A and B are shown apart, each in its own frame.
Chain A
Amino acid sequence: MRAHAFPGGVTRGTETRSRPVAGGGVRRRYEVDLMHIMEGFLPVGHAAAWTAIAAPFVGFGARRVVRQLRQRPEDRLALGAAGAFVFVLSALKLPSVTGSCSHPTGTGLGAMSFGPPVMAVLGTIVLLFQALLLAHGGLTTLGANVMSMAVAGPWTAWAVWRLAMRAGARKGLAVFLGATLGDLATYVVTSAQLALAFPGEAGTGAAFVKFAAIFAVTQVPLAVAEGLLTVAVMAALEGKGVLEGGRA
């Protein structure tokens, strides 16, 4: 949809090369959002499988949200802030060095504050909003998109953050690494999902390398920006004594 030049391996021949357009500049002809797979753009079997895989994560996450709110009602505000952060960041399509746009995810903040299961729920809400109102992502591809943005990203952010803290990194650095790598993990998983569905003639491995290579260049600067923003928002919330982090 919005973002990322589409890797050549997915289509036949040379059709995917950038081609000159009227007006002079070279416009990247084929672009796709590597984060939210478009409606109907996963084969039925893949769509069903990803939905089945994602469902338990969302169900478990929903129970965690309910339990969290029952045990610590005062967390309502901070949970809202984590959800709001995802809303803002995933609405911001930012230009990147490849000449196309992509958007950050914002799921690291909540994952590090409340644990990854909670983000499966908040991420799904955002994905549903975008699928229904913006035709961005889709209902048939919701499962796959939930797995990348609301499961893989948050778990990666949380794991990296925990490891960094345990290794003695400063808090800010650990949060930065968690948020940045969580953002990247989302795009790695989407690349893998698309490569599995559309291996082309070169095979899944080659398709993945092509998807991932292109996403990486586009996404790295944005992931770093998300890392910095997450540290800032985390610090702002902690300054008010709400988020301690690491309760999950």
Chain B
Amino acid sequence: MTSSRKISLLVLAAALLAAAPLALPIQGSFTGSDDAAREAISATGYTPWFTPLWRPPGPEVESLLFALQAAIGAGGLGYVLGRLHGRSRRQ
């Protein structure tokens, strides 16, 4: 098996593994909740003594920022792989 085919298969397997729970009949909303988690620890009588300096104003902005983080990472990884690919071709 060629190396690039092996890589494709590995990525595909990882993607299937990540997607599988959505296809299975699993109860749950696949979300977490900041408020609920806060409530859970607070129920022990604990009061947080520090709050985030800034938090995203809403779920849309939050997912925008998560997407930004993924984009920065994917962009960087793609840039490096592309450059290395170009370099190895020149040689």
The reply to whether B10 and A198 contact each other, CB–CB distance below 8 Å, is: no
Q: Contacts of B46 on A, CB cut-off 8 Å?
A: 41, 43, 198
User: In the bound complex, do residue B70 and residue A88 qualify as a contact, i.e. CB atoms below 8 Å apart?
Assistant: yes
Q: Which residue of A lies closest to B15 (CB)?
A: A225
A24's closest neighbor in chain B, by CB? B27
Return chain A residues, CB-CB under 8 Å to B77. Answer: 81, 84-85, 88, 233
Of A56-64, A92-100, A148-156, A181-189, which stretch is located at the interface? A92-100
User: Are the C-beta atoms of B17 and A225 separated by less than 8 Å?
Assistant: yes
Smallest beta-carbon distance A142→chain B, Å? 11
A245 within 8 A of B: no
Residues 54-80 of chain B, each 1 if its beta carbon lies under 8 Å from chain A, else 0: 111000001001110110111111011
Shortest CB distance A141–B (Å): 9
In chain A, what residue has the closest Cβ to B28?
Answer: A99
Q: Is the CB of B26 within 8 A of A80?
A: no
Size category of the binding interface on chain A = 35 or more
Partner of B76, one of A2, A87, A92, A132: A87
CA distance A64 to B72 in the complex (A): 24
Known: A40-B49, A134-B66, A138-B52. A25 touches B39 (CB 8 A): no
- Do A30 and B39 touch (CB < 8 A)? yes
1/0 per residue B31-65: CB within 8 Å of A?
11110111111011010111111111000001001
- Residue of B at shortest CB range from A133? B65
Q: Which residues of B contact A87 (CB under 8 A)?
A: 69-70, 72-73, 76
Q: How far is the CA of A139 from the CA of B31 in the complex (A)?
A: 24
Task: List residues of B whose CB falls within 8 A of some A CB.
Answer: 3-4, 6-7, 10-11, 13-15, 17-22, 24, 26-34, 36-41, 43-44, 46, 48-56, 62, 65-67, 69-70, 72-77, 79-81, 83-85, 87-88
